Structure 1
């Protein structure tokens, strides 16, 4: 197993991509520390992943707050003795036209997506400085290509910052044998859409995006999780500073 005995911290781990990624790391032998904003939801995810409580533990908190990322890293080190991998996955999404976006909503994107990932990565890198490790950020296809059907200027700007940050960190942290990479998903069927649409709207809307992807379907959490595990693994030991589109072919072009 690729991650036998490794310690992995995952932000935004209560559902969707984060939870699926945790399940895959767990299946490959890792110990996992999950972050989530909702304590009850996080506790349920931890129980679901590991009813024994021996290999998965939770650290609740809003990743936009610097103390939350530090607490996640500290818990990993205190409970399991080290940190080998950080998956910086927490994010928010709610398409809204540029002309209607207010300052509070703009700050919401920047604080959660960019600042949260920045300072959690900083805390993780300090913990990995002596031993090396891997940081994998979840970015976005929207930071590479604008989509008129989903107006997302602030979301895209925040994720473009995540992409640029990863390239810079890859150079700065290479001396410590810490690799930093990004996966950039297109439309992935996760509960995030339920945060701004009803269940009925989700069921009606998401299938309309299947044809948007040249491969003919929306992504599933496992599609992204597998890419994350690859970038975190020794199979990718000579890869750093990469933004990997995992998008069903969207950024390649249109059919």
Structure 2
């Protein structure tokens, strides 16, 4: 198992990409700490992944607060002895015309995505240094690379571009500590995030229409993204840092 005796923190770990990523790390032998705002969802996910309750623990809290990140690291240290890998996976996506964004709306994207990368990374680095290194993988977005007219997402894209910038800056700054920092940049991935602004019926109608948007002919799955995250976090990627990897079925290759 690739991650036996490793400890991983996954933010946004209750559903979607985060849940699948936590599941895959567990299957590969890791201890996992998952975070999100909804304690009931987190606890249900943790027990679904690990019915024994021994190797997956749930810590609820607002990731835009420094205290939450400190709690996550403290829990990982107390339960498993340290932290080896951090997956910054928090996100919010609701296509909105630029002029319709409010100040509170913009702030929420910065809180969830930018602060949700900055604070957890600050919190884990001292523990990674104690272990002689580690890996941070951020869930970025194709929308931070390529604008999509059908889904106006200026606030989301700006925040995700910040996550991409943090990826590259931390990769350079932390290389001497043997801490690698990379990101994945997915296009349309079928996750529950679309249910936050569409009904179930709308999701069933709209999402399939995006299959043809990808040259490869289909939307992404949470497993597609999770497998890429696990690769970047693994020793197989030991010479890779500062990369924002497109996971987009070929979209950006076609548009560049």
What band does the TM-score fall into relative to the shorter chain?
over 0.9
Q: Secondary structure at the match of 2:201?
A: helix
Match of 1:217 in 2: 218
Match of 2:152 in 1: 151
Deviations 1:88-119 (A, max 9, x none): 00111111000111100000001110111111
Match of 1:109 in 2: 109
User: Distance between the aligned counterparts of 1:220 and 1:16, measured in 2?
Assistant: 9
Match of 1:205 in 2: 206
User: Distance between the aligned counterparts of 1:73 and 1:171, measured in 2?
Assistant: 23
Would the aligned equivalents of 1:133 and 1:179 in 2 still touch at CA under 8 Å? yes
User: Distance between the aligned counterparts of 1:122 and 1:11, measured in 2?
Assistant: 14
Deviations 1:103-136 (A, max 9, x none): 0000000111011111111111121112210000
Paired positions, count: 254
User: Distance between the aligned counterparts of 1:112 and 1:40, measured in 2?
Assistant: 19
Unaligned runs of 5+ in 2: none
Shift of 1:195: 0.7
User: Distance between the aligned counterparts of 1:25 and 1:51, measured in 2?
Assistant: 15
Shift of 1:62: 1.4
User: Distance between the aligned counterparts of 1:250 and 1:69, measured in 2?
Assistant: 34
User: Distance between the aligned counterparts of 1:158 and 1:107, measured in 2?
Assistant: 10
Do residues 252 (structure 1) and 241 (structure 2) align? no
Q: Secondary structure at the match of 1:228?
A: helix
Match of 2:6 in 1: 6
Runs of 4 or more above 3 Å deviation: none
Unaligned runs of 5+ in 1: none
Match of 2:138 in 1: 137
State the TM-score, normalized to the length of structure 1: 0.98
Q: Secondary structure at the match of 2:161?
A: helix
User: Distance between the aligned counterparts of 2:71 and 2:91, measured in 1?
Assistant: 18
User: Distance between the aligned counterparts of 2:215 and 2:118, measured in 1?
Assistant: 32
Match of 2:233 in 1: 232
Shift of 1:66: 1.6
Deviations 1:6-48 (A, max 9, x none): 0000000001000000111111110100001100011110110
Would the aligned equivalents of 1:11 and 1:18 in 2 still touch at CA under 8 Å? yes
Match of 1:184 in 2: 185
User: Distance between the aligned counterparts of 2:173 and 2:78, measured in 1?
Assistant: 26
Q: Secondary structure at the match of 1:134?
A: strand
Match of 2:99 in 1: 99
User: Distance between the aligned counterparts of 1:73 and 1:183, measured in 2?
Assistant: 23
